[in-house]
Amino acid sequence: MRNYTQFYIDGRWVDPVSPKTAEVINPATEAVSGEISLGSPADVDKAVTAARRAFATYGESSVQERVDLLESIQAEYLRRETELGEAVMEEMGAPRSLACGFHTLLGKGHLGTAIEVLKAFPFEEQRGPTLIRKEPIGVCGLITPWNWPMNQTCVKIFPALAAGCTMILKPPQLAPYSAQILAEILHEAGVPAGVFNMVQGQGSVIGAALSKHEDVDMISFTGSETVGVQIQKDAADTVKRVGLELGGKSAWIVLDDASLPANVAGATAGMMGNSGQTCSAGSRLLVPSSRMDEVKAIAAEAANGVTVGDPTGNFAMGPVVSKSQYDVIQDYIEKGLAEGAELVAGGAGRPEGLDKGWYVKPTVFVGTNDMVIAREEIFGPVLVIIGYDDVDDAVRIANDSNFGLGGYVSGEDVEQCRAVARKMRTGAIWVNGGFDFHAPFGGYKRSGNGREWGEYGFHEYLEVKSIIG
C-alpha cells in the first residue's frame, strides 16, 4: 500500500491545510493500492505564494545554472527509472514492458531534449536596431492527465524549468504515484525551494483554483476538450496564457500498394497499445474500399493476436484505467453495434478468462465517418475502419473531424505519403512510423492550441520583449 498524503510546497513535504484523503484503485485487480490527500484552494494559495517568491531569483538564473540543475535531475531520474515504471504499471495498468519501457523513456527523452535545447536556445537576439529578449513567463500551473503520466508531466516540467519558470503541478488523481516519485527526484536533485511545487487532488478543485488564481501567469493543460474549455473560461478573468492539448480522433491513411497488409496489421496493433488510451491514437483507419475484404481479415487477425492480461505478466495490453473508463468504452461499443457498424474483432465485455480488472477486448469495427464511434474520442482499444475511393477522398475523410491532433500515413512512396500529409489538417503526422523528440506536438481545431516537445515547447513558457534603439 502506498501512502502519499503530503504535498510538496516550498521545498518541503507538508500536510494539507484541510486533511481529506481518497483511495487509489489498481485497475488490474480492482483493489485499493494506496491513498492520497485531496488538496484545497488554500493549499494552492500556499504553493502559488512559494512559486511567486522563488520566481524572483530563479527567473534571473543563468542558462548554465539551469543546465546544471537539469543534469542533476537527469542523474537522479536514471537512478530511479525502474521505480517510476513500476509506479506507472500499478497506477494505470500499463504492462510492465510498456511502463518500464516507453512510458519512462518518454520522460527521460523530454529531459534530455530540454537540456540539449537549453544549451543552444537564443534567449536574446539582435534584429536591426531592436534587441529581442525571451524571458520566463512566471508562475505556471501544470495540469496533467493519467494516460501517459511520465510523458505529459515531463513535457511540461522540464521546458518550464529550462525557461526559468516556477510551477505548481496538479497530477492526475487516478494516476498519482509516478508524480510523487518525480517530485522526490526533483527534491533530491536540488531544485530550489518554491521552484517546483505539487498539490494532489481533484481537477475540479485544484485545476480551477490554479486557473482562476491572479498570481498564476500561465496554465498548461492536457486532457479532455470539455475540461479545457472550462479552464479557458476560468482563466479569462485574469487574462493568463492557456496552453491546451486536448482530444483527438486521428486518421491513419494506408495507401493502396504492396505494403498495405503490413501497414494495416501495424496500425491495428498500434491502436491497442496503452489500451487505446492515447490522445493521438490512429483510431480511424482509412483504407482503399476496393481492398476492404482483405483489410478486414488482416485487422481481425492483428486484433485477435493482441494478448490481454495482468500488467505484471508477459501481455501486450493491460486494463483501462478505471471502472468509469471501462463503462464509457462499453457504451461506445454498444453504440457502434446499434449504428450498424460491422464488428470484425472483439466486442462488448471482458476478454475470456478475465473476470476481475477493467480489461477491454481489442475491438475493430468497419463503419462510416458519420457514426458516433468515428466522430467522438472513445479513449479505449476500439478501431474504426473506413473505406475511401481515392487519395483525395481519404484526405477529405481524414479532415472531416472536429479534432486535429495526430495523423498517420503509410505507404511505399515516401514522397506520396508526405504529399498526403501536407493536406491533412492536423498538428502532427507520422509517416511510416517516424519519431522525433524535437518535433512540435499539438493540435488544430478542438484538439487545442500551442505546441509542446523540443524547442517549440520552450516558447509556451516565454514572453517576448522588444528593446528598441
Looking at residue 204, what is its pLDDT?
A: 96
Torsion, CA 380, CA 385, CA 388, CA 390, rounded to 10: 80
Residue 106 to residue 115: CA distance in whole angstroms: 14
pLDDT for the residue 165 = 99
Give yes or no: 245 in active site: yes
Give the span between the Cα atoms of 304 and 364, in whole angstroms.
Answer: 10
Catalytic residue among 86, 245, 452, 460: 245
Q: Topology of domain 251-437, per CATH?
A: Aldehyde Dehydrogenase; Chain A, domain 2 (3.40.309)
Q: What is the pLDDT of residue 137?
A: 98
List, in order, residues 6 or more apart from 33 with CB less than 8 Å away. 1, 2, 24, 25, 26, 90, 91
273, 378, 171, 359 alpha-carbon torsion, rounded to 10°: -60
| Res 37: pLDDT | 98
Whether 134 and 213 have beta carbons less than 8 Å apart is answered as: no
- Residue ranges of the chain with pLDDT lower than 70? none
Which amino acid appears at position 82 of this protein? T
Residue for grid cell 509517416: 431
CA distances in angstroms from 209 to 109, 137, 143, 214, 221, listed in the order given: 31, 19, 11, 10, 13
The residue count of the chain comes to 469
The rounded distance, in Å, linking the Cα atoms of 457 and 439 is 10
Going from N- to C-terminal start, the domains of the chain cover 2-246+447-468, 251-437
Burial 213-241 (b: 16+ CB within 10 A, else e): beebbbbbbbbbbebbebbeebbeeeebb
Closest CA to 325 of 95, 93, 22: 93
Architecture, CATH, for domain 2-246+447-468: 3-Layer(aba) Sandwich (3.40)
